[in-house]
Amino acid sequence: MKDKKFISYLFEVAWILPSVAIPVSMLVAILITAFAVGVRVPTTAGRVSVSAVAAGADSTFSQTGLREIAPGRYEAIITAQTFMFTPSKIEIPAGSKVTFILTSKDVIHGFRIEGAPINVMVIPGQVSRVTATFDKPGEYLFVCHEYCGAGHHVMHGTIIVN
Amino acid sequence: MASIAARARPAVISTDLSVERKLAGINIFIAFAALAVGGLMGVLQILRYNGLDLYTPSKPLLPGGYYQGLTIHGVLNVLVFTTFYIIGFLTYIFTKSLNRPMASSRLAWATLWVMVTGLVLAAIPLLTNNATVMFTFYPPLKADTLFYLGLTLVVAGTWLLLVNMILTRNAWLADNPGQRTPLPAFMAIVTMLMWTISTIGVASEMIFLVIPWSLGLVGGTDPVLARTLFWFTGHPIVYFWLLPVYISWYTLVPEQAGGKLFSDPMARVSFILFLILSLPIGMHHQVTDPGISEMWKLVHAIFTFGVFFPSLLTFFNVVASLEYAGRRNGGEGWLAWIFNLPWGKPEISAQIAAMMLFAFGGISGLVNASYNVNLVVHNTSWISGHFHLTVGTAVALSFMGITYWLVPHLTGRKLWSRGLAVAQPWLWFVGMGLFSHFMHELGLRGMPRRTDIGGAPYLQDEWRFFLFFAMIGGLIMFVSAIFYYLNMIMTLTRGEKLAEVPDFTFAKALSGPEDAPKILDRLTVWVVVAAIILIINYVPTILDLLSTATFDVPGRRVW
């Protein structure tokens, strides 16, 4: 009887240890990739007036498009609205590091680049700011991934890396 | 005769549960009626993904096409089906376990009527294409006010059940001093406590932001604040769906399998942990949101991992109970006892099939919660694949499984076809397994969720292969649903009247409540602990959003 109790105790320990060890090791992996490797998630990047953006009166978002801020270093100012991104085509040389600065003129949109670690919500009144480096030449599709109305499925664009 | 005698003497507590039985029946009926409509919309979606457009011929019924259908699919399946089923099921399980009716039968009926009124109000704009905003209704998408009012009433109705449960449990405790609350009643009340606390988020969103704005009383709203309040409720809601299923897995399945619950104390501990840890984790849905700091996203990710622990306790306890049953039925070996479970009982095969797929759903859920890994999957069809395993299988298939014994119990009618009932869960298992596997695959290849992919100019060639198999899975599920509904309709209309209504008992425990620390039953203590952690995890972000919000984003009707 004592043996049986001990065995069931062993089973419980054998279950509980991995139950703790699995999430803890996953957490460690996340912390390493976030803070040592630098795969970070979007964070607060300021507010913006949605009416000013829509009227073209906002200093940042009145001039959409790509600009080089240093050699190999770019900023892409993009606005989202039903059902398009402006601009929807961006061309950069391979090896470029691009910071995407986005906002929405109307409802919530999404911005995800296939093949790059970029995935961010684009919310009216908020600035989204995300950065990625494009080493491999090719065409990168980006899509709006948040339902934004009847034409949501046509909302997309491309990044061409030469 | 016994009940008349009992009523004559007030000292004897009534055990007449006829009101609760009726309420369970009505709620579950509404739930499955909603699921039938919502599920049908899913079939249209998966066909459309493969270029078969049934939206054009159904234009008179569904003027909003794909997106209206998708909104109906979401609202009916995850808000209406789940909530009505749960309220009906918990009302009955709670009172059955305490062996006494609800403290107030009027309040119990009011719960139903408030919820039904809400459902009708919300259904009007939903079905007329005036609320094509998805079940998440993120402002500034602007639906008809009735939609918001209706959903708020459905939630408010659920609060009445908690009030009734508290009154009933207090009366029970007064009549049974020093006794432990029976496990099913304990679990039911913990579920409703967790849910009610969590609804502070969506109720505030509705009452303070969305309803005044949709009425035109204020000109604009703040979308990030609204999202934050939505997900405050929006993640705990998945535990509101799951915990009633766990109640069945812990307190009914072991008995139905011919065994006992392995550990009552462990079950109580896991539910208290769910009460505390289900609440402060909603921001893992907002990992990619601007306007919310990285630090709080990380904290919520860590707390989400915390919920993994009671989930594994549940897994251990439920499987150990099944193993005990298998061995009692003559099973042997490390795993061969599995074959000695009563697979011929549809309630058993449905719920074990649900458990098996749920294991995968749990794993993909951990991926979603994993902070930066979420960048890969957020808003892709991976997410749809994930929750079709959790709410779409662990919850929906278990709820179906439960009705295989509960409907005969409530109606006194024999199940029309046991054969169909035994086959149905396995069709669901295979169909959903295929569907959700390929939805996960498509998500990893960049297919966005909630998108009319059949009409998308960027539909990738490599997606087509996976979309085809997802459709096969969806169609198998459709057949499974036909088996289920046919069987239920025939049972209700033609089922053989049983001479004696089949009763049921809850599982006894190998290690009973006497082994559980008494403090586990002191729910006020745990509610306070939960509230403190919730406040720490949410107040800084909400204050920050409130202090910077300008409430100037106007509403849009974009469909």
A69: domain CATH number is 2.60.40.420
Mark B400-438 as b/e (b = at least 16 C-beta within 10 Å). bbbbbbbbbbbbebbbbbeebbbbbbebbbbbbbbbbbb
Q: Is A132 on the interface with B (CB under 8 A)?
A: no
- Cβ-Cβ contacts under 8 Å, B460 against chain A: 141
Same domain, yes or no: A64 and A104 = yes
Give domain status of residue B269, yes or no.
yes
Same domain, yes or no: A29 and A58 = no
Residue A1 has pLDDT above 60, yes or no: no
Give domain status of residue B140, yes or no.
yes
Give the closest residue to B352 by CA, choosing from B267, B416, B247, B257. B257
- Whether residue A49 and residue B550 make contact (CB cut-off 8 A), yes or no, is yes
pLDDT at B182: 97
Same domain, yes or no: A36 and A73 = no
CA distance linking residue B183 with residue B188, whole number of Å: 9
The residue to which tokens 């704009």 are assigned: B125
pLDDT at B3: 47
- Whether residue B371 and residue A148 make contact (CB cut-off 8 A), yes or no, is no
- Whether residue A126 and residue B224 make contact (CB cut-off 8 A), yes or no, is yes
Assign 3-state DSSP to chain B and report helix, strand, coil percentages, each to 5.
Answer: 75, 5, 25
Q: Is A73 on the interface with B (CB under 8 A)?
A: no
* Orientation angle between helical segments B346-369 and B236-251, nearest 10 degrees: 150
Q: Which two tokens stand for residue B50?
A: 């493969």
CA distances from B2 to B16, B26, B98, B184, B399 (A): 10, 26, 18, 26, 33
pLDDT at B9: 45
- Whether residue B455 and residue A112 make contact (CB cut-off 8 A), yes or no, is no
Give domain status of residue A45, yes or no.
no
For residues B387, B40, B85, B506, the Cα torsion angle rounded to the nearest 10 degrees is: -80
> Which phi and psi (to 5°) does residue A108 adopt?
-75, 135
Cβ proximity of B34 and B87 under 8 Å = no
A143: nearest CA partner in chain B: B448
Same domain, yes or no: A24 and A81 = no
- Cβ-Cβ contacts under 8 Å, B53 against chain A: none
**What domain count does chain A have?**
2
Half-sphere exposure of A81 (CA within 13 A, CB side): 13
- In the stretch 134-153 of chain A, residues with CB closer than 8 A to chain B read 141, 143-150, 152-153
Q: Are strands A156-161 and B261-263 parallel, antiparallel or unpaired?
A: unpaired
CA distance linking residue B298 with residue B373, whole number of Å: 12
Give domain status of residue B300, yes or no.
yes
Q: Nearest CA of chain B to the CA of A138: how many Å?
A: 15
Q: pLDDT for A95-117, tens place per residue? A: 999 999 999 999 999 999 999 99
Same domain, yes or no: A87 and A153 = yes
Cβ proximity of B22 and B106 under 8 Å = no
| DSSP run (H or E) holding A134 | strand A128-134
Give domain status of residue B264, yes or no.
yes
Give domain status of residue B11, yes or no.
no
Give the closest residue to A102 by CA, choosing from A156, A159, A48, A157. A48
Q: Which two tokens stand for residue B247?
A: 């109640």
pTM of the model as a whole: 0.95
Domain range enclosing B357: 17-548
Q: Nearest CA of chain A to the CA of B290: how many Å?
A: 5
| DSSP run (H or E) holding A119 | strand A118-122
Same domain, yes or no: A10 and A80 = no
Give domain status of residue A30, yes or no.
yes
pLDDT at A3: 72
Cβ proximity of B297 and B283 under 8 Å = yes
- Other C-beta atoms lying within 10 Å of the C-beta of residue B279: 27
> Which phi and psi (to 5°) does residue B263 adopt?
-145, 115
Q: Are strands A138-143 and A109-113 parallel, antiparallel or unpaired?
A: antiparallel
Residues of B known to be catalytic: 235, 239, 386-388, 449-450
Beta-bridge mates of residue B131: none
- Cβ-Cβ contacts under 8 Å, A43 against chain B: 290, 292-294, 297
Give domain status of residue B557, yes or no.
no
CA distances from B487 to B352, B393, B400, B402 (A): 20, 19, 11, 14
- Whether residue B556 and residue A107 make contact (CB cut-off 8 A), yes or no, is yes
CATH of residue B154: 1.20.210.10
Angle at A125 between CA A121 and CA A128, to 5 degrees: 35
Give domain status of residue B451, yes or no.
yes
Cβ proximity of B62 and B69 under 8 Å = yes
pLDDT along chain B (559 residues), means of 10: 45 86 98 98 97 95 97 98 98 97 97 98 98 97 98 98 98 94 98 98 97 95 97 97 98 97 94 96 96 95 93 93 96 93 96 96 93 95 97 98 97 96 98 98 96 96 97 98 98 94 93 90 96 97 94 95
**What domain count does chain B have?**
1
Q: Nearest CA of chain A to the CA of B487: how many Å?
A: 37
- Cβ-Cβ contacts under 8 Å, B59 against chain A: none
pLDDT at B2: 45
Give domain status of residue A9, yes or no.
yes
Residue A2 has pLDDT above 80, yes or no: no
- In the stretch 4-63 of chain A, residues with CB closer than 8 A to chain B read 12, 15, 19-20, 22-23, 26-27, 30, 33-34, 39-45, 47, 49-51
Same domain, yes or no: A133 and A72 = yes
Give domain status of residue B2, yes or no.
no
Same domain, yes or no: A18 and A68 = no
- Whether residue A123 and residue B224 make contact (CB cut-off 8 A), yes or no, is yes
Cβ proximity of B191 and B247 under 8 Å = yes
Q: Nearest CA of chain A to the CA of B404: how many Å?
A: 33
Q: pLDDT for B402-428, tens place per residue? A: 999 999 999 999 999 999 999 999 999
Same domain, yes or no: A118 and A145 = yes
CA distances from B395 to B2, B262, B297, B361, B387 (A): 38, 22, 27, 11, 10
Q: pLDDT for B527-553, tens place per residue? A: 999 999 999 999 999 999 999 998 999
Chain centroid to Cα B338, Å, comes to 27
Q: Which two tokens stand for residue B19?
A: 């009101």
Q: Which of B286, B319, B371, B548 to mutate to test the interface with A (most CBs of A within 10 A)?
A: B371
CA distance linking residue B502 with residue A139, whole number of Å: 65
Mark B66-104 as b/e (b = at least 16 C-beta within 10 Å). bbbbbbbbbbbbbbbbbbbbbbbbbbbbbbbbbebbbbe
Same domain, yes or no: A106 and A136 = yes
Amino acid at B245: V
| DSSP run (H or E) holding A66 | strand A65-70
Give the closest residue to B374 by CA, choosing from B469, B281, B470, B466. B281
Domain range enclosing A17: 1-40
Give the closest residue to B237 by CA, choosing from B34, B72, B77. B77
Among B223, B293, B453, beta carbon nearest to A123: B223
Residue A12 has pLDDT above 90, yes or no: no
Q: Which of A9, A108, A122 to mutate to test the interface with B (most CBs of B within 10 A)?
A: A108
CA distance linking residue A37 with residue B289, whole number of Å: 21
pLDDT at A23: 87
Beta-bridge mates of residue A120: A111
